[in-house]
Amino acid sequence: MKKDAWDWILANESMIIEASDKVWRLAELGLVEEKSSKFLAEILEDHGFIIEMGVADMPTAFIATYGKGNPTIGFMGEYDALPGLSQKPVPYQDPIEEGAPGHGCGHNIHGVTGVMGAIATKVVLEKHGLDGTIKFFGTPAEETYSGKVFMVRAGCFDGIDAVFSHHPGRFNVAGLGSSLAMNSAKFHFYGTTAHAAATPYVGRSALDAVELMNIGVNFMREHVVQEARVHYVIEEGGLQPNVVPDYARTWYYIRAPEREQVDQIYDWVLKIAEGAALMTQTKLKIEFIEGLSNELPSKGLSKLVIANMREIGAPEYTEDEMKFATEMAKTVSKEVKIEQLRASKRPGWEQLVEDDVHIDREIHDPWDEGIVWPGSTDTGDVSWITPTMEFQTATATLEAAGHDWQWTACCGMSIGHKSLILATKVIAGSAIELFTKPDLLKKIKDEHVEKMVGRKYKCPIPKDVRPPLEIAKKRALK
C-alpha cells in the first residue's frame, strides 16, 4: 500500500514541486497568508477533501477532511514567511525585492509536504477501501503568533489519534528533543509629556518606565532557571530628546523548559512592570500576544518515521547541486559552521568539518532525547493533545543557520525540492502504517497517555485574547 502512495508522489513530482515553489514566491507573513492558504486549500478540495476555512478566528487557518470512521490521522502544514528574507535561488545574497519577506524557514515546503502527504494517503484509502479519516490542518503564523495554539484552544485537534508534521532542517532525523515554552507580551506605558529642559518636573516619562522595567528584568535573570531565555526590544521610546515621552512600549519573549516555569517567570515580569509604573507615576497596559507550550515528543512516531525514511532512502545530489552547496559554504566562515554543528550535538559532527561536507545525507537515529532545544514552536501545544511528530529532512546546507537568506535560497531550488519529495513520501508511508496497523497506533497512543501522567494541558493563551489580526496586518504593511 505504501508503494501506491509513493508511486502517486513520483507521478506527481513536478506538480508537488511547483506547489512548493508557488508558496515560496508568494512569501506571505503570519496571519495574512491569504493567497498561500487559499492555494493549498484549493489543491485539497480538487482532490476530494471537504474544506473549512477561517477556523479558530483566523481567516488563513483551515481544516481539510477526507474519509469517515476511525482512526483519524492528522497532517499539519505551515506557510508563513519571514520579514526581510527575500532571496533569489542563488548561492550568494541577492534579494528578489529588497526588504520583502522570504521563506527563510522553509514553510513553503512545510505546508506542501503535509498537503501532498495527505493526498497520497487518501489515494491509498480510496483504492483499498480502508476506513479512516484524514485531516489536514492549515496552521498559520507559526513564526509570530502561534496559530496552532488558537486552533488547539478551539478544539480543532480533539479526537485526532496522531499527527504528522515535517519541518525543513539540516539533518534527516525524527528528533526526541523538547522545546522551550514561551509567552510573548507587549508592555505599554503612558505618561505625561513636557518640555524636557523648561519644565521636566511636570512630565512623567514613559521611557523611564520602560528602562526601569528592563533593568528590573535584567536583575531578575540571576534568579530564574539557567535554561530560561528572556529577551526584549523597545518598540517605541519617544520622538526627540527635548520632549518627555508620554508613551513608550517594550516587547518581551519569556521562555523556559516547562510551561509552569514560564508562568512563574512571567508573573514576576508583570510585577516588575507594575513596579516600574509605580516608580514613574505612569500607567501600564499589558498586551498579551501569544503563549505556547513545550513539546512532548513521541518515541513511537519517531521510530515509525525513521523506519520509513530508511526504506525510502536519502536523496542523491547532482554535480550542480553540490556546486551550489560549495558556493553557499563560501558565504559563511568555518568558525561559524563549527559553532552551528557543535550546537546541533549531532554525533560525529567534527568529521563533517574535517571532510568539508556541505549537505548531510545520513539518516540518523535521534540523538537528542532529554535535550531541551532553545527555540519554541506552537507544535508543542498539539503534542499535549495527541501523539505528534515533527521530523526533519535535510533541506539546507550545513552552513545555513536558519531564518536567513541562505535558507530562502535552498528552499526555492532543487536541494530543497529533494527534501520536499522525501518528506512527502515519509509522511504518507508513516500514516498508512497507522491506518493499517491498529496495534502500532494503540502502542503510540498508550505512550502518550503515560507521558501525560501528572500533566494537564492548560491553554497558555487567556480566553479573552483573540488572534492579533490587526497587528499582523499592520506589520505586513510595514
- The pLDDT score that the predictor gives to residue 300 is 98
- The pLDDT score that the predictor gives to residue 213 is 98
For residue 188, which phi and psi values (nearest 5 degrees)? -100, 125
- The pLDDT score that the predictor gives to residue 348 is 97
**CATH number belonging to the domain at 181-293, selected among 3.30.390.10, 3.40.190.170, 1.10.357.10, 3.30.70.360:** 3.30.70.360
Nine cell digits for residue 120: 497520497
| CB-based contact 87:93 (threshold 8 Å) | yes
- The pLDDT score that the predictor gives to residue 475 is 87
What dihedral angle (degrees, nearest 10) is formed by the CA atoms of 163, 167, 169, 175? -20
What count of Cα atoms within 13 Å lies in the side-chain half-sphere of residue 434?
33
Q: What's the DSSP call for residue 192?
A: B
Tens-digit pLDDT profile for residues 41-56: 999 999 999 999 999 9
- The pLDDT score that the predictor gives to residue 301 is 98
C-alpha of 427 from chain center:
18
Nine cell digits for residue 217: 528584568
Residues of the chain with pLDDT under 50: none
Taken in order 409, 103, 100, 230, the sign of the CA dihedral is: negative
| CB-based contact 408:86 (threshold 8 Å) | yes
| Cβ contacts of 267-273, under 8 Å, gap ≥ 24 | 268/220, 268/224, 269/217, 269/220, 269/230, 272/213, 272/216, 272/217, 272/220, 273/187, 273/213
Euclidean distance between CA atoms 169 and 368, whole angstroms:
15
Provide the residue type at 39 as one letter. Answer: F
Q: What pTM did the predictor assign?
A: 0.94
Other CB atoms within 10 A of residue 350 CB: 12
Helical spans, DSSP H, in 292-393: 299-312, 319-329, 334-344, 349-354, 379-385
Among candidate residues 425, 413, 397, 477, the one with its CA nearest the CA of residue 25: 413
Tens-digit pLDDT profile for residues 212-271: 999 999 999 999 999 999 999 999 999 999 999 999 999 999 999 999 999 999 999 999
DSSP string computed for 367-435: --TT-B-S---THHHHHHHS-EEEEEEE-S-TT--SSSHHHHHHHTSHHHHHHHHHHHHHHHHHHHHHH
Q: Domain ranges in the chain? A: 2-176+296-451, 181-293
- The CA distances from residue 265 to 228, 262, 270, in Å, are 9, 5, 9
Burial class of residue 12 (count of CB atoms within 10 Å of its CB; 0-12, 13-18, 19+): middle
- The pLDDT score that the predictor gives to residue 127 is 97
- The pLDDT score that the predictor gives to residue 460 is 96
Euclidean distance between CA atoms 475 and 478, whole angstroms:
5
- The pLDDT score that the predictor gives to residue 401 is 84
Q: Are strands 388-394 and 247-256 parallel, antiparallel or unpaired?
A: unpaired
| CB-based contact 318:418 (threshold 8 Å) | no
- The pLDDT score that the predictor gives to residue 39 is 98
2-176+296-451: in CATH 3.40.718.10 = no
User: Can the peptide bond before residue 71 be classed as cis, meaning omega within 30 degrees of 0?
Assistant: yes
Cα angle 347, 353, 354 (rounded to 5 degrees) comes to: 105
| CB-based contact 268:218 (threshold 8 Å) | no
